[in-house]
Amino acid sequence: MTELLTLAIALAPVLGALAAWSAGKGGRARLAMGIGITATGTSMAAAAALGAWVFAAGTETAFSGLVTVDALGAYMLLLVAAVAAIALAASPGYLARHRADGTLPPLEEGTYWALLALFAGGLATVPLVDNLGLVWVGIEATTAVSALLVGFTRSPRAIEAAWKYLILGSIGIGFALLGTMLLFAAAGPAADAGNALAWTELGRSAASLDPELLRLAFVFALVGYGTKAGLAPFHTWLPDAHSQAPAPISALLSGAGLAVALYALARFHHIVATALGPGFSGTLLVAFGLLSLAVALPFIVAQGDLKRLLAYSSIEHLGLATLALGFGGRLALAGLALHLFCHGLAKASAFVAAGRLVEEAGSHRIGRLRGSLTRSPAAARALVVASLMLSGLPPSGIFVAELAILFGGVAAGWALAAAVAAVLLALAVAGLLFHVARVAVGPNRARGPRVSIRARTALALAAPLALVAAAGLWTPSPVAAAIAQIVAVLGGGHG
């Protein structure tokens, strides 16, 4: 069963991508869309099924240990599937509107569906493999695929953003490869090359690893995967890529792509903390988490571009998640588990809603988007609600998660760091809500008619937000049990 689901997750996107691409090149856009949605949907449904199965039945292995999915992996599978569903629902509308206004390159719709399938499938494959070398290969492959999606519109700005993303992303991820190799070297020449990079095996034999090399490996992994997760000071590609990409792609990049990079870092952290105690890697994570919160703040407060505002908010939230990972302890890690999922859903909805507003107004500038609530009520409402949640105001899962992370930090002995983070978060709330309020209200300068959206789009925007709100009010017992399992994986061996 696990074998079958794994194959569906990894191979359906590859086959679907080939078919969608050739259908698109043959001018059959509708067929390409059908194939793209079917292939991506199959892969994501399999990912969700496998994730749910692991939470119910415990860790699953397949293909003689090459594939291992524990609670943390299952969590990532569910997160990627949920965010990809939002991106998938928003994509037909995005393509239709750009087909209508002539900004879609001809015969490229099949390419869009092919790349989307590969991107989502790649993100879902990373948490499957029990080999940190292959985790690297998967993340690097999604970088290349998503770089093509970032520049999809072929405007000069989009090409610039994609170029920066490709070069900075490749260099960053190169450091992660060096870190992976040093981890391999830390296992010593005696290690069996076949499973020396398996995170299950490394976690078990952590005590026998060379401590010097282990420290060095973690530093390189932090730089490398930190670049991909958008941690300051390696974040400079992120606002460009997230603001220039098509809205559904921004949603997937921000909601799931960053989290998958953090997942790789969490596996490194777990091994290093098991071997050396949480002091070394935990302190580094706390430092870079705080730095990301501090660096994002001025750009949120002084932002003039709606999509860049959301991108900097992602840097802030990933900083908070990194902080939680560094804090450790049951409470902060439970907060982390709640946080990444809720952030993924809320941020993806915010990007899709912002994308609608930007398309209708023909500008990213906040000053030109004013009065959106009268012009395009549904999308503007979704943006406002998503922003309130992203600000951490109740009722939302993010509110509960932020409280848990901050109190967890205090409980784990990081009182000062938690206090600084609380101040930075509060200031960022003011900045984000001020700008979103300007977009929502104010004089509506555009003369066009009120824009209404289809029921399907409204559902795609409302359902994830309702889920995030519910997560702040009520935790059903299966969810609580799942969070406890994730915490056990993340905190195993210490705390």
Partner 1 sequence: MILDPSTASQLVDAVAAAVVVLGIGIASTRSLGRMIWVTAAQSALVGAAALVVAAATGAAHLALGGVLAIGVKGVVVPLVLGSILRRSSVRQERRPVVAPRVTFVLAVVIVFVATAATHDVRLPVALDAARALPAAISTLLTGLLIVMTRRKTLSLVVGLLVFENGIALAAFSLVYAMPIVVELGVLFDLLIAVVVAWVYSRRMLDVLGTLSTDELRNLRG
Chain residues that interact with partner 1, rule: CB under 8 A:
131, 133-134, 136-137, 140-141, 143-144, 147-148, 151, 154-157, 159-164, 166-167, 170-171, 174, 177-178, 180-182, 184-185, 188-189, 193-194, 196-197, 210, 213, 239-240, 243-244, 299, 302-305, 308
Residue 205 CB, nearest approach to partner 1 (Å) = 14
With residue 60 as reference, give the H or E element that holds it. strand 60-62
Nearer to partner 1, 163 or 407 (CB): 163
Residue 362 CB, nearest approach to partner 1 (Å) = 17
Any residues with CB less than 8 A from the CB of 384 and at least 6 apart, and which? Answer: 373, 436, 437, 440
Residue 240 CB, nearest approach to partner 1 (Å) = 5
Q: How far is CA 47 from CA 6, 127, 136, 139, 347, in A?
A: 8, 10, 19, 17, 21
Name the DSSP letter for residue 413. T
CA 405 to chain centre: 19
Nearer to partner 1, 208 or 452 (CB): 208
Residue 148 CB, nearest approach to partner 1 (Å) = 6
Q: How far is CA 186 from CA 131, 205, 212, 309, in A?
A: 15, 11, 8, 41
Nearer to partner 1, 198 or 337 (CB): 198
Classify burial at 162, counting beta carbons within 10 Å of its beta carbon; exposed 0-12, middle 13-18, buried 19 or more.
buried
Nearer to partner 1, 127 or 464 (CB): 127
Closest CA to 226 of 237, 211, 215: 237
Which three-class secondary structure state does DSSP give residue 129? strand
Nearer to partner 1, 11 or 458 (CB): 11
Nearer to partner 1, 181 or 393 (CB): 181
- What is the CB neighbour count within 10 angstroms for residue 452? 12
End-to-end, the C-alpha distance of the chain in Å comes to 34
Any residues with CB less than 8 A from the CB of 195 and at least 6 apart, and which? Answer: 65, 131, 201
Residue 423 CB, nearest approach to partner 1 (Å) = 23
CA 318 to chain centre: 9
Closest CA to 111 of 210, 230, 33, 21: 21
Nearer to partner 1, 102 or 189 (CB): 189
Any residues with CB less than 8 A from the CB of 179 and at least 6 apart, and which? Answer: 216, 217, 218, 219, 220, 221, 222, 223, 224, 268
Give the position of tokens 């030109």: 368
Nearer to partner 1, 66 or 291 (CB): 66
Nearer to partner 1, 52 or 137 (CB): 137
With residue 62 as reference, give the H or E element that holds it. strand 60-62
Q: How far apart are CA 70 and CA 479, in angstroms?
A: 16
Residue 87 CB, nearest approach to partner 1 (Å) = 20
Name the DSSP letter for residue 394. S
Residue 154 CB, nearest approach to partner 1 (Å) = 6
Nearer to partner 1, 305 or 359 (CB): 305
Residue 138 CB, nearest approach to partner 1 (Å) = 8
- What is the CB neighbour count within 10 angstroms for residue 491? 18
Residue 212 CB, nearest approach to partner 1 (Å) = 8
Nearer to partner 1, 136 or 288 (CB): 136
Residue 182 CB, nearest approach to partner 1 (Å) = 8
> What's the longest Cα–Cα distance across the chain?
73
CA 350 to chain centre: 13
Residue 261 CB, nearest approach to partner 1 (Å) = 15
